[in-house]
Chain A
Amino acid sequence: MPLLDIRNLSVEFATRSGTFRAVDGVDLHVEEGEVLGIVGESGSGKSVTSLAVMGLIGHNGRIVADRMEFAGTDLRSLSPRQRRRLTGKDVAMVFQEPMSSLNPCFTVGFQIMETLKVHEGLDRAQRRRRAIELLDQVGIPDPESRLSAFPHQLSGGMSQRVMIAMAIACSPRLLIADEPTTALDVTIQKQILDLLVSLQRDRGMALVLITHDMGVVAETAHRVAVMYAGQVVETRPARALFEAPRHPYTGALLDALPERALGRRRLPTIPGVVPGIADRPPGCVFNPRCPKAQADCRMGPIPMFPDETGAARCLHPLRQVGGQAA
């Protein structure tokens, strides 16, 4: 049984200009101890998917799913109280903007110990000791004195370490990291990624790494799901995906990696933008930007086609090794 099992998840938001479907029939599963990379451009619905799992969609959002289970518990039928017992303890999340994700009015120590207090019920001294341990584990020097620091006294990288310490405080079974390195300096990005991966390995927890950066996924993920315009368009083990992407969108994303474009004069790009609320195309959502699109791509919804290593939502998948268009 997978740790997290999602079937046909849709999330809709009521906006001024009508209902907007941010997530459209997504199937996802995460195994115990697995690292799943979710890749997609901004607006592909990857963040909304993770927020739905965390139960953090606001009142204006509506969640529909055929199945949404965490470790056998149906997330859809939880009372708010049961939900709170799960979030922050068994499922935890790290966000994109570490600087604004910490409450500016409270010390680092308070914010970490608060999680421990709510979920673990330790006494004051134990919480303090545990918080120091956690800060030490996420590589913050002089953790004891950092407890009394306010968020504005920390750098972005330090803040993200604190966020990670907070997230792993109750030893979650699943950690969702939503673009954890996007807002950081390039040199810090690598450190934070390494930290996440080593924590995942040491603790055996599952990690969902959400990113728009294929390079990040390549180094860390066991399995990858590529999202586009609210749909999962391709999913397979990382190695297989990088060796032989089947969906043209995945292929284009890989081609756009600087490492893969060596020797070419210009980095390839994908023309056009992700469709918005008003201009969602019929058929394959990627067809207006797809070099291989044909007449049948513009008709009817396209299902996922399973293959030897995974599945792709494409009628005319790429075949050639190396991601070059056939």
Chain B
Amino acid sequence: MYAQMVKSTGKGIKSREEMTDEERQFQDRVDADEKIEPKDWMPEGYRKTLIRQIGQHAHSEIVGQLPEGNWITRAPTLERKAILLAKVQDEAGHGLYLYCAAETLGVSRDELMEKLHSGDMKYSSIFNYPTLNWADIGAVGWLVDGAAIMNQVPLQRTSYGPYSRAMIRICKEESFHQRQGYDIMMKMAFGTEDQKKMAQDALNRFWYPSLMMFGPSDKDSVHSAQSMAWKIKINTNDELRQKFVDQTVPQAEYLGLTVPDENLKWNEETGHYEFTEPDWSEFFEVIKGNGPCNKERLGARVKAWEDGAWVRDGLMAHAEKKAAKVAAE
């Protein structure tokens, strides 16, 4: 997902007997679906895990601007250009909302940026894949945003108030993203032979990386169990992946495209599709920095930040001068 493999800090879930009074009260509030707010008492592990998760989510939004932003200047019509620009702009907005949510936990946006730039914090593996043809813009909206929505919709109910509110706003804005992606896919899949080829090529390349977005199976992970107890993770990775496949396969069929999985088949008994797991060794390589675009993506972020330093400083200096002038009057 946008926040993959976030490790909680504890070694496992404490039993009620092991918890302190504060921890027990906290867990009771979470269990009762009460929202935790910034000034409320919270376990240190909860705070740290949330900073990692929200931070990683925010980083994914702004790094996620890059593969799509790639195509803004090449969009084939004025309307497509406007739609794509509006969409990539939304992602900047989503990054902004999430950074602000993280800041309520006592970390600054600049600190988070530095951690992204130094590689201490990660972003979703999916954005290290290239967008090579125009149908990729369709595929990103359809598959990548589709996968993201699977995770974000339940996160609207997450226990941390500012995170929950950011997700509500994001989901509201995000609803057009997947549709515009599918709309591009329809134009391509029902278009000329060349366009069909682009559409199939895009699906071939984005299918497995999209499945990887949910992260490796976490049914035995103590970190995930803790995060689920804290309600900062709502479903297991496998649940969401299955839901995504079940939803997406018929959509691919409607387009007349072939999902690149020979073992894909409907299982009447379970009511779900059977599918091939993505190559997890590839996933771990991408996370380590060996994806096709890791260097470009991070490089672009670092460059934007460094090149922009004089602007941020200049604007701050002017504001301080003005404030000093007002104070002197």
> Do A and B originate from a single complex?
no
B interface residue numbers (CB < 8 A to A): none
A interface residue numbers (CB < 8 A to B): none
